[in-house]
Amino acid sequence: MTSARTRRADLLRTRARANRAASAERRATARAARRVRAGARSLTTHVIALGVSRETVKGVAKALQGVAKKERSNGLKGKRARIRRTARGFKRHAVTVYRYTRAQVAQIAAQYKPRKPEYKAVRAALIAA
pLDDT of 97-129, one tens digit each?
A: 999 999 999 999 999 999 999 999 999 999 997
Give tens-digit pLDDT for 58-76. 999 999 999 999 988 888 8
Q: Which domain, by its residues, includes 56?
A: 4-128
1: pLDDT confidence band, cut at 50, 70 and 90? low
Structural domain count of the chain? 1
Nearest by Cα to 59 from 1, 125, 115: 115
Averaged pLDDT score across all residues of the chain: 91
User: Which pTM was predicted?
Assistant: 0.77
The whole-number average pLDDT for the span 30-43 is 88
